[in-house]
Amino acid sequence: MTATAAPVVATDGVDVIRGGRHLLSDITVRVHPGEHWALLGPNGAGKSTLLHILGAFGHPTHGTVDVLGARLGRVDMRALRTHIGHVDPRHRLDLPSSAHDVVLTGLTNTPELDRRRTYTAAEHRRADDLLDVLGMASRRDLPWTTMSQGERGRTLVARALIGSPSLVLLDEPATGLDLAAREQLLLGIDDLRAQVPDLASIMVTHHLEDLPTSTSHALLLADGRSVAQGPVDEALTSETVSACFDHPVQLDRVRGRWSATTRREPVRS
């Protein structure tokens, strides 16, 4: 990523108003190639609303949003979405499709394989390579209906990346995972980010422990407003997280991973 690279995401003065209530207020942010943003905040902060717009599923009430160089309101939203990778652990699929086939559905952004389409040998290899990086090589034929939540999570990350998108949006990808599954998922995300240096990503989470070590930037939201944003060393501090969650927090980072505990104020005599 170079300093002159055009942003993958650019919002200016974005407001979202529903029923007379501001869900987002004056959000301005730039995400460049190679940057990996954490989107943090308490329940109701506006994280899902912002991710919905950045994923080309909705429009702001006021302000402008550019995604992959396209201005929302002047572009075919459905076509734009095909160039954005989405990872949602609530992805519904009731068919016993194999992990390999689920990954291939990311090429058409459909729940199942498009039987009218011929998938090339290169696309099949790409699906297997992504599963391999995410520790799923031995489970390529495992049916979706019998996968654990962790196996589904890693399969969905591979699905989001098979189309080689420039932007990937991860909506709480570690939801429901046990400790081992979460660590396997986060290591896989770190490995993929290292292999695709120009990839940009935005990850929504409630928990700092769920952030991969490759996280480079953060945007903290509270009540629909930006509390802090920028490189993680500046945006993620005990002070900013405490202000964001309205709770005294001690933030620590060990070997590139964050943890947060309650900061106990000294007892006054």
At 103 the pLDDT is: 95
What burial class does residue 81 get, using C-beta atoms within 10 Å of its C-beta: 0-12 exposed, 13-18 middle, 19+ buried? middle
At 269 the pLDDT is: 37
pLDDT tens digits for 188-205? Answer: 889 888 888 899 999 999
Higher pLDDT, 269 or 262: 262
CA atoms within a 13 Å half-sphere pointing along the CA-CB vector of 184: 19
Beta-carbon neighbour count of residue 180 at 10 Å? 9
CATH number of this structure's domain 1-83+165-236, picked from the four choices 2.160.10.10, 3.40.190.10, 3.40.50.2300, 3.40.50.300: 3.40.50.300
At 245 the pLDDT is: 94
CA distance 110 to 159: 11
Residue corresponding to tokens 């709770």: 247
Residue 116 φ/ψ region, left for φ over 0, alpha for ψ in the -120 to 50 degree band, beta for the rest: alpha
At 199 the pLDDT is: 92
| Domain ranges across the chain | 1-83+165-236, 94-160
The DSSP call for residue 266 is P
CA distance 256 to 111: 36
Provide CB contacts within 8 A for 96, sequence distance 6+.
Answer: 143, 144, 145, 146
At 185 the pLDDT is: 87
User: What confidence tier does 65 reach under pLDDT thresholds 50, 70, 90?
Assistant: very high
User: What confidence tier does 2 reach under pLDDT thresholds 50, 70, 90?
Assistant: very low
CA distance 31 to 215: 12
User: What confidence tier does 4 reach under pLDDT thresholds 50, 70, 90?
Assistant: low
Whether the pTM exceeds 0.85: the reply is yes
Provide CB contacts within 8 A for 241, sequence distance 6+.
Answer: 40, 208, 220, 249, 251, 260
User: What confidence tier does 35 reach under pLDDT thresholds 50, 70, 90?
Assistant: very high
Residue 51 confidence (pLDDT) above 90: yes
Residue 265 confidence (pLDDT) above 80: no
Higher pLDDT, 175 or 15: 15
At 133 the pLDDT is: 85
CA distance 134 to 148: 14
CA distances 158 to 85, 108, 181, 239, Å, are 10, 14, 15, 36
| Backbone phi, psi, residue 137, to 5° | -60, -40
The DSSP secondary structure of 116-129, one letter per residue, reads TSPPPHHHHHHHHH
Instruction: List, in sequence order, every residue forming a beta bridge with 17; answer none if it has no partner.
Output: 22
CA distance 151 to 267: 47
Average pLDDT over the chain reads 90
pLDDT tens digits for 77-113? Answer: 988 988 899 888 777 777 889 999 999 999 888 888 8
Could you tell me what percent of the chain has a pLDDT over 90? Answer: 67
